[in-house]
Every structure is written in C-alpha cells, then in structure tokens.
Amino acid sequence: MDLIEKKVRFSPIAYTRYLRGLKKSHSMFREGDILENLAVKSWRIAPGNTTISPKAFFLDGQLERVTGTAYTDDPFKAMNGGFEVEHQETRAYKLKEIWMINGFIYKGLHNFRLHPTFQLSHKMNYLPRIVMNTEVDNAAIYSTSEGNQYFGLWLTDDCANYALAATEGTPVTSDIIPYSHMTEYESFLEMNPFRTNAAFLKNAIFFDDNWGNNESKHLRFAANRTKLLTRFPGTSHPGVFILRRNSGISRVMLNEIEIAEKLHEKYSFKIVDVTQNTASEILSACAGAKVLIGIEGSHLFHGLMMLEAGSSVLVLQPPTRFSAVIKNTTDMENINYSFVVGIQKEENFYIDLEEVERTLELLPV
C-alpha cells in the first residue's frame, strides 16, 4: 500500500468557512464531465457497447396494476423490451490533492459524497480532526453514494469496480459500514480496502461508466460470481425464496411468508431470510437455484450473485413502487426476468399465488 504516516495539520474553522462556499454535492457516478474538468489525466479503461433489451416474462394485465414507480420511467417499455440499450464506456480520472473527510471527497469547490447524508456524522463534518495521520499517495476510489445506500448497487457496481481500483492503486473507501453482510462479502470476494474517514490523498483515481453495464462490467461481475460459486458450490435445485420482511425501504407484502411456504411445500423451494441468515447461509441456499423469487429489492442481489446464465428471477412487485432496476442486471447476465404485480390493500400489498404459479410456467425450463 502506498500509505504514508504523516501528520497533516488541518484547520476546522477554515474548513467550516470552506464548506459554506462549496458548490452542490455530487454522487460518485454519472459525474464524468465534472471529473474530466478536475482531472490532470483521464483515459478509457473499457469500451462501451450496445445490447437489445429482452422482453420479460409476465401475465396479461399485470402492468395495468402499476400505480407508481421507482427509478423506472416507463414500465411498459422496460418490460416489453425490444429496444437498444447503449452502455457507456468505463473511464478513469486522476485527480491530485484530495481531502477525504467523513465520507466526503473534497477537491477545490467540488465535493463528492460516498454515502447518503443520513449515514454521516454532522458533528465530524463541521468539527473534523485537527491533525490527520494518514496520507495516501496513489488512492483508487471505487465506492459510491448509491452503492452505500442500496445494497444491490454495492454488489453490482462497487464490488465490480474494486477490481479496477486494485489494478490502478490502493483501494480506498470510508470507514462506515452500512450493511450487516458487507464484511462477509468483502472476505469472500477478496476485497481488502484501506478504510478511513480522515485522509489526504496526494493522487486519487476515480471511475465512471454512467451506470452502464458494458462488457467489462459483465466480466468483472462474472468473476465475482465465480469466486462465490467456488466457495459455495451447489447442486441444481428448483429455487429459493429470499424473505425481505421489514428490511430496507418499506414495501410490506402481507402474505410474503405464506407464499414462500407454499412454494416450499409444493415445489421444494428453499427459504432464507435476510434479517436472520448470514451471507454464507443465504449464498449456500442460492447456489444451484433454477429460480430466485422475492419482493423487489436489494436483498435479491444475494441470489443474483449466484445465478448462472439461463436461470430465472421472479420479482414480486409492489403496485405503488414498480422498479425495473433488477432487470438491468439480469439482462447483463443472460438471466430470465419475470414478475408479478401485487394487489394493493391499504398501505401494503399481497400477491396471488395462482399468478405466481402461472408465471413460473412461462419460464424456460
């Protein structure tokens, strides 16, 4: 590691004045133009490419139930597919003389957040350490605010970008752990970043692909899957239902456990619970699954990390929060995507078991 134990004196008062003059805070991805303007050097790591979005598997009348969406502009277009998707190239940007404090990156009058603000210490933001003991000569920043807010994006994007960071310099991230399963995955995927909430980065490399799932990201994602399958090998089995319960952003499915138990009794699906099981237990259950089922959300990415090409995902969608985000990953990995939209009941929703069974019949064997 290119770490230097060096005391860098810092003025909290001057820093507080500096914060007031900052331009708006940016996330780490989709900021290529800003990074380009701040960089002393930039280069292409991997080219972009174009793919055709495949049609999802679903019953007639499902999309008509949708009353609200999340990160999806047009559910009808996203689910019917047939359109071109342009995946941006992956680029690297080298910046000099960066401050990394409390989950924020500071360069000039620009700052980039590595975490959503609710995960950060407001006290440390305005009263940082007077002396910072760490200086990093060649840092490589791979984590993002979105990845630290949504577990699925951390697994898909941040963990895939770690391979780039390890190649280009010393992988650096904040010393804030937002997920209970994070440290297990870091061990499984051989990730050993330098964690700090207060450091001076002499040189820092940033990455950006505008969330594109280009061929390079597919290969890095697939390499991580291979590591997990090597550690947790499994024989083929009908499927796994991953219980969400009350984890993450609220989307309560009233009969979640009932549907899971029916699928277990009738089709021998395994059941795991992200609020109770370790990552090891979840991954062991997902290994070899032909079908992954669960409420739409980041917890399903435990299973997506283990599914091989040709397998299937059946997403149980809340009618008020329909999202196509998971389909971006299934398309990248040649996994069949299917869904059932729930039926609203007051603030929550429930799923019709018969519709689940009929949708399973649509999936390729």
pTM for this one?
Answer: 0.90
Per-residue three-class SS string for the chain: CCEEEEEEECCHHHHHHHHHCCCCEECCCCCHHHHHHHCCEEEEEECCEEEECCCCECCCCCHHHCCCECCCCCHHHHHHCCCEEEECCEEEEEEEEEEEECCEEEECCEEEECCCHHHCCHHHHHCCCCEEEEEEEEEEECCCHHHHHCHHHHHHHHHHHHHHHHHHCEEEECCCCCCCCHHHHHHHCCCCCEECCEEEEEEEEEEECCCCCCHHHHHHHHHHHHHHHHHCCCCCEEEEEEECCCCCCCCCECCHHHHHHHHHHHHCCEEEECCCCCHHHHHHHHCCEEEEEEECCHHHHHHHCCCCCCCEEEEEECCCCECCHHHHHHHHCCCEEEEEECEEECCEEECCHHHHHHHHHHCCC
pLDDT, tens digit, 9 for 90 and up, residues 166-195: 999 999 999 888 999 999 999 999 999 999
pLDDT, tens digit, 9 for 90 and up, residues 13-31: 555 655 666 666 666 555 6
At residue 125, the pLDDT reads: 56
pLDDT mean across residues, the chain? 90
pLDDT, tens digit, 9 for 90 and up, residues 32-44: 788 999 999 999 9
At residue 126, the pLDDT reads: 53
At residue 116, the pLDDT reads: 77
Band the pLDDT of 270: cuts 50, 70, 90: very high
Q: Which domains does the chain have, with CATH numbers?
A: 3-44+88-218 (no CATH), 52-86+234-362 (3.40.50)
Percent of the chain beyond pLDDT 70?
Answer: 86
pLDDT, tens digit, 9 for 90 and up, residues 348-361: 999 999 999 999 99
pLDDT, tens digit, 9 for 90 and up, residues 82-132: 999 999 999 999 999 998 888 888 888 888 888 877 666 665 555 555 556
